[in-house]
């Protein structure tokens, strides 16, 4: 946040300490700016709910509160456009365009977020947010507060004083200019108290207040300073000479009215006083649930929001007083000490032994630096590098024994790193991160520190991040054992959390999910991550060069089409060229002009013969492809393989995702995009790659759950599903279904499976919401079972508070009974989506485990490398193709008995692309 803070920490005149600081935000003003600063097409939930205004507003709030450190905080909103000003002047703000539907649906969500953050918000009938802010600012300044006003309305500049500062956005909501009395005078040539005089004479087009023709800010400021005030100017208007004086006298009535309307009211009767605005702790669970429903999954964003929680600061202060627990464990530094400790505390244990470690991992390589164990009341620490043969043998045997129960935190990462030490981990019965995920999949933080604080009210020792992101404890120089003791505290915390989660998982019906699915999948993913997939570095380098060359060629082509050079990445220059110089049809109006996003360029390409929109789209495609290739090149290990990291705890529905690199972002729909997949190749010592995926798994699950006979028959017919369904919906023979009909039905079918609204479908198909609703209504007429299922699943979830997959994975949706319409509708769409997408995710995991078990039982050397969406990729050992293909088809098709049977497609080739099917 680009503000220059000068008033923070100021002390009162008696030197008693920092003065209280009140921050007031103009809610609608800042939300509008956020809406237009962030492209709405980039901020939508999977159900079609726009979220750009909420995200931008929350970011601005977090950054500004962080920078200014107010002790008191409130947000004021306009209640409606009907105020005493519109009664005085009916055309007041009448020129403003209709509020976009995408914005209106977000105002309530911003209010919900503020409520969850316990930030007071106020509206008052017949008054504007400015008047509420003026009243609070005036009262607070009189009580000795420093006041910051965050607003995009210049009328608030009249409130500026030695105690009151206006933070005015100059670029979106990310940069704020600090208006002090000196800054107002510098910018406008008048004092803050004179600013309403200047505004009345200048007029305000944004409020539809007419000014005096030919009179701008400089002339208005000159008059105000010459005569001292607006009233004196009006009283002596005849002294203003020339035509400009005539204009002034002709418009006296309008400028007098302007002066009344621009004066802010400072004595509005409010429901709260300044003292009531003291910042209080968030309802962290409510904030987290709202972030989940809005699909705000960026950890940096979440950290910034929770970083301004006054409750977190209080908890931190309390933690400093009570740092946690002490563990009096053994430092196993002597030969045989570890073997002896294991024999005494772990060898015959029936209760889990917890393990914590410090380790690193990156690009296929890793190491373990420290290990701590906790069993019952005992604990121990050792350095793997110092182990003798006896201790290493004993520890290796205990780790690999499936009958010796173990508890870990993020077991997958431990297994992956321990394998680098030659240690195989078996017998894991508890993973405290996965347990927290299964109980509350909507949370986004699963660190041991956070879980310890939340569930055990325990603060762990201070930690510094190791390269891998794991915890490394820095020991003070005067105490060389502090790091070891801190790691033993970690191990004890894992043990305590494991015991705590056991009954909670049973109550949530998730015990079997952890034992039979998530823990085995974690072990499989650890092996897949270590194995990685071979990459053709030369091919990637060639692609990067090819895309760079094409980008340059397209830039030159764009310059030729425009007739001069320009920056293809500058929206402002694109607007000037497309809508000014070339006079192309106007796209959607935004704050800075007309949008030039990809959808707009695609529309322009259909509306004009001018080649520039097509060229610009080509440039963006090539730039995106080049960025993807550059990212892949950075992740190729010295051994020539790419090791992605799979995430089990990101998607609330249970779907796996990947990062570093994100292999779900590898494009597949264009030839150039598919060329990138050709860089993923079979590795040395193996014969080929095999890919296998499910055909239309979500729709098959929807048919199974809805028991709609017409849809089940469409699957049973063995014909193209979307064509068959389209023929029924549009009432034509299958042969008469054209590409556009099929496209609409495909979008419709998947949209219903993912909880898409009529508005979301209209956006996806580029049609009006009414047409999309009509399409949905017709669909439901043909497939009544689907409509009944969708209605039933929402009502059942409303009654129980959660949805459930075929395998029993639950997703709690408390907002199904919310009084806020937007949140309730979002929760309803999630209730439609979660059972289908979650069941698909569960089935894919079952299939992966079945395939892996069958390969190992058959003693085959072929191995699984990747899982991307509904597809798995395997590396085939020489001579094993037929047996592996038979295993894959059998195990994937039999993963779960659906009434619309699972259909598996398989392909084989030397690279990922050629193995497609």
Give the residue-averaged pLDDT of 217-226. Answer: 78
Confidence of residue 90 (pLDDT cuts 50, 70, 90): confident
The whole-number pLDDT of residue 755 equals 74
For 449, how many CA atoms within 13 A lie in the half-sphere containing its CB? 15
Joined tokens for residue 563: 């007739």
Least confident of 163-172, 249-258, 294-303: 249-258
Whether the bond between 294 and the residue before it is cis, its omega within 30 degrees of 0, is no
The whole-number pLDDT of residue 319 equals 42
Give the residue-averaged pLDDT of 227-244. Answer: 75
The whole-number pLDDT of residue 472 equals 35
Joined tokens for residue 612: 């520039």
Centroid of chain to Cα 590? 23
Model confidence at 209: pLDDT above 80: no
d(CA 371, CA 396): 13
Output 206 or 223, whichever has higher pLDDT: 223
The whole-number pLDDT of residue 481 equals 83
Output 211 or 901, whichever has higher pLDDT: 901
The whole-number pLDDT of residue 714 equals 86
Give the residue-averaged pLDDT of 496-520. Answer: 96
**Number of neighbouring beta carbons within 10 Å of residue 249:** 12
Least confident of 97-106, 469-478, 675-684, 859-868: 469-478
Residues 532/865, Cβ–Cβ less than 8 Å = yes
Model confidence at 44: pLDDT above 50: yes
The whole-number pLDDT of residue 213 equals 75
d(CA 150, CA 464): 36
Can you give the length of the chain in residues?
A: 917
The whole-number pLDDT of residue 337 equals 96
Work out the burial of residue 796: count CB atoms within 10 Å of its CB; fewer than 13 is exposed, 13-18 middle, 19 or more buried: middle
The whole-number pLDDT of residue 114 equals 95
Q: Which residues contact 489 (CB under 8 A, 6 or more apart)?
A: 324, 325, 326, 327, 460, 461
Work out the burial of residue 771: count CB atoms within 10 Å of its CB; fewer than 13 is exposed, 13-18 middle, 19 or more buried: middle
Model confidence at 14: pLDDT above 70: no
Residues 465-489: tens digit of each pLDDT: 333 333 333 333 345 588 899 999 9
Model confidence at 205: pLDDT above 80: no
Model confidence at 2: pLDDT above 60: no
d(CA 455, CA 115): 24
Give the residue-averaged pLDDT of 378-397. Answer: 96
Give the residue-averaged pLDDT of 152-166. Answer: 92
d(CA 429, CA 448): 17
The whole-number pLDDT of residue 729 equals 86
Confidence of residue 46 (pLDDT cuts 50, 70, 90): low
User: Which of 336, 355, 356, 339 minimizes the C-alpha distance to 347?
Assistant: 339
Whether the bond between 661 and the residue before it is cis, its omega within 30 degrees of 0, is yes
CA angle 211, 216, 222 (to 5 degrees): 115
The whole-number pLDDT of residue 747 equals 86
Q: If DSSP states are collapsed to H, E and C, what string results for 193-231?
A: HHHHHHHHHHCEHHHCECCCCCCCHHHHHHHHHHHCCHH
Q: Name the most confidently modeled range: 167-181, 235-249, 898-912.
A: 898-912
Residues 515/601, Cβ–Cβ less than 8 Å = no
Residues 271-297: tens digit of each pLDDT: 999 999 999 999 988 888 888 788 887
Residues 343-368: tens digit of each pLDDT: 999 988 789 999 999 998 888 888 99
Residues 148/22, Cβ–Cβ less than 8 Å = yes
Centroid of chain to Cα 341? 46
Cα dihedral value 885, 890, 894, 898, nearest 10: 80
Helix axes 598-607, 612-634, angle to 10 degrees: 150
User: Which of 864, 697, 702, 678 minimizes the C-alpha distance to 790?
Assistant: 702
Centroid of chain to Cα 515? 29
Handedness of CA 191, 197, 201, 207 (dihedral sign): positive
Share of the chain above pLDDT 70, in %: 92
Task: Indicate the average pLDDT of the chain.
Answer: 87
Give the residue-averaged pLDDT of 878-882. Answer: 97
User: Which of 842, 855, 846 minimizes the C-alpha distance to 887?
Assistant: 855
Give the residue-averaged pLDDT of 154-170. Answer: 92
Model confidence at 835: pLDDT above 90: yes
The whole-number pLDDT of residue 93 equals 66
Residues 729-750: tens digit of each pLDDT: 888 898 899 988 888 888 888 8
Q: Decide: helix, strand or coil at residue 693.
A: strand
d(CA 891, CA 403): 27
Give the residue-averaged pLDDT of 203-214. Answer: 72
Model confidence at 681: pLDDT above 50: yes
Model confidence at 843: pLDDT above 80: yes
Give the residue-averaged pLDDT of 858-862. Answer: 98
The whole-number pLDDT of residue 9 equals 45
Confidence of residue 892 (pLDDT cuts 50, 70, 90): very high
Residues 552-588: tens digit of each pLDDT: 999 999 999 999 999 998 888 999 999 999 999 988 8
Least confident of 21-35, 374-388, 465-479, 593-607: 465-479
- Domains and their CATH numbers in the chain: 21-188+265-301 (3.40.50.1010), 323-532 (3.30.420.10), 536-642 (1.20.1060.10), 698-833 (1.10.150.20)
The whole-number pLDDT of residue 49 equals 81
Output 706 or 720, whichever has higher pLDDT: 706
Residues 383/369, Cβ–Cβ less than 8 Å = yes
Residues 50-73: tens digit of each pLDDT: 899 999 999 999 999 998 999 999
The whole-number pLDDT of residue 469 equals 35
């Amino acid at each position: 946040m680009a503000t220059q803070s000068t008033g923070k920490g100021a002390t009162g005149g008696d030197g008693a300490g920092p003065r209280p600081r009140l921050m007031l935000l103009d809610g609608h003003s800042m939300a509008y700016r956020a809406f237009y600063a962030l492209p709405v097409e980039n901020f939508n939930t999977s159900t079609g709910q726009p979220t750009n205004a909420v995200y931008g507003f929350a970011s601005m709030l977090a950054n500004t509160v962080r920078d200014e450190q107010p002790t008191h905080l409130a947000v004021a909103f306009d209640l409606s456009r009907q105020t005493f000003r519109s009664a005085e002047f009916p055309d007041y703000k009448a020129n403003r365009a209709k509020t976009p539907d995408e914005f209106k649906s977000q105002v309530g969500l911003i209010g919900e977020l503020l409520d969850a953050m316990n930030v007071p918000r106020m509206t008052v009938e017949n008054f504007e947010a400015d008047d509420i802010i003026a009243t609070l600012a005036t009262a607070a300044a009189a009580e000795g507060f420093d006041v910051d006003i965050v607003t995009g309305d210049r009328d608030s500049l009249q409130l500026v004083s030695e105690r009151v500062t206006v933070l005015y956005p100059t670029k979106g909501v990310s940069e704020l200019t600090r208006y002090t009395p000196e800054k107002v005078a510098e910018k406008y040539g008048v004092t803050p108290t004179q600013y309403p005089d200047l505004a009345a004479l200048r007029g305000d087009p944004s409020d539809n207040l007419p000014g005096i023709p030919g009179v701008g800010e400089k002339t208005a400021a000159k008059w105000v300073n010459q005569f001292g005030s607006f009233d004196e100017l009006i009283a002596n208007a005849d002294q203003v000479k020339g035509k400009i004086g005539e204009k002034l006298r002709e418009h006296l009535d309008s400028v007098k009215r302007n002066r009344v309307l621009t004066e802010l009211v400072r004595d509005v009767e409010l429901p709260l006083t300044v003292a009531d605005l003291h910042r209080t702790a968030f309802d962290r669970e409510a904030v987290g649930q709202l972030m989940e429903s809005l699909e705000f999954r960026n950890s940096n964003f979440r950290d910034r929001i929770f970083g301004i929680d006054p409750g977190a600061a209080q908890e931190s202060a309390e933690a400093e007083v009570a740092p946690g627990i002490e563990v009096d464990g053994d430092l196993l530094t002597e030969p045989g000490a570890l073997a002896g400790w294991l024999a005494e505390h772990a060898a015959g244990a029936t209760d889990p032994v917890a393990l914590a470690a410090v380790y690193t991992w990156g690009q296929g390589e890793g190491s373990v630096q420290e290990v701590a164990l906790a069993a019952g009341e005992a604990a121990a620490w050792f350095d793997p590098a110092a182990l003798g043969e006896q201790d290493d043998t004993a520890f290796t045997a205990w780790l690999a024994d499936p009958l010796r129960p173990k508890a870990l935190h993020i077991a997958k990462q431990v297994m992956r790193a321990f394998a680098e030490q030659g240690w195989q981990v078996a017998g894991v019965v508890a993973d405290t991160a996965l347990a927290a995920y299964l109980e509350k999949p909507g949370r986004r933080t699963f660190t041991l520190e956070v879980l310890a604080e939340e569930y055990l009210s325990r603060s762990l020792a201070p930690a510094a991040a190791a390269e891998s992101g794991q915890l490394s404890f820095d020991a003070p120089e005067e105490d060389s054992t502090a790091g070891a003791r801190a790691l033993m505290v970690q191990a004890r915390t894992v043990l305590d959390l494991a015991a705590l989660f056991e009954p909670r998982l049973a109550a949530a019906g998730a015990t079997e999910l952890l034992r039979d699915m998530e823990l085995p999948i974690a072990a499989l993913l650890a092996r897949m991550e270590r194995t990685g997939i071979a990459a053709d570095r030369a091919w990637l380098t060639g692609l990067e060069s090819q895309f760079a060359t094409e980008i340059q060629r397209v830039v030159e082509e764009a310059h030729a089409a425009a007739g001069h050079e320009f920056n293809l990445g500058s929206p402002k220059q694109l607007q000037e060229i497309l809508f000014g110089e070339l006079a192309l049809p106007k796209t959607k109006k935004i704050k800075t002009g007309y949008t030039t996003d990809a959808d707009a360029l695609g529309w322009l390409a259909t509306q004009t013969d001018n080649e520039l929109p097509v060229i610009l789209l080509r440039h963006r495609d090539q730039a995106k492809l080049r960025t993807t290739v550059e990212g892949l090149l950075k992740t190729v290990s010295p051994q020539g393989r790419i090791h992605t990291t799979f995430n089990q705890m990101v998607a609330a529905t249970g779907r796996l995702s990947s990062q570093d690199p994100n292999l779900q972002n590898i494009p597949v729909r264009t030839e150039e995009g598919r060329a990138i997949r050709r860089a993923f190749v079979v590795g040395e010592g193996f014969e080929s790659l095999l890919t296998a995926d499910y055909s239309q798994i979500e729709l098959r699950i929807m048919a199974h759950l809805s028991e709609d006979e017409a849809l089940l028959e469409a699957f049973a017919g063995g014909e193209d599903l979307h064509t068959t369904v389209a023929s029924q919906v549009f009432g034509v023979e299958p042969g008469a279904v054209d590409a556009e009909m099929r496209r609409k039905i495909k979008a419709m079918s998947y949209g219903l499976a993912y909880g898409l609204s009529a508005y979301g479908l209209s956006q996806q198909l580029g049609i009006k919401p009414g047409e999309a609703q009509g399409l949905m209504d017709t669909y439901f007429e043909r497939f009544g079972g689907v409509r009944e299922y969708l209605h039933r699943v929402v009502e059942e979830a409303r009654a129980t508070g959660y949805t459930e997959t075929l395998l029993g994975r639950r997703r709690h949706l408390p907002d199904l009974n919310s009084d806020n319409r937007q949140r309730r509708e979002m929760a309803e769409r999630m209730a439609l989506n979660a059972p289908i997408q979650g069941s698909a995710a569960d089935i894919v995991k079952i299939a992966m485990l079945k395939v892996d078990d069958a390969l190992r039982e058959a003693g085959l050397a072929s191995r699984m490398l990747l899982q991307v969406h509904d597809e798995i990729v395997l590396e085939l050992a020489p001579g094993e193709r037929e047996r592996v293909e038979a295993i894959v088809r059998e195990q994937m098709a039999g993963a779960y008995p659906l009434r619309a049977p699972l259909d598996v497609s398989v392909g084989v080739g030397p690279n990922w692309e050629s193995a497609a099917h």
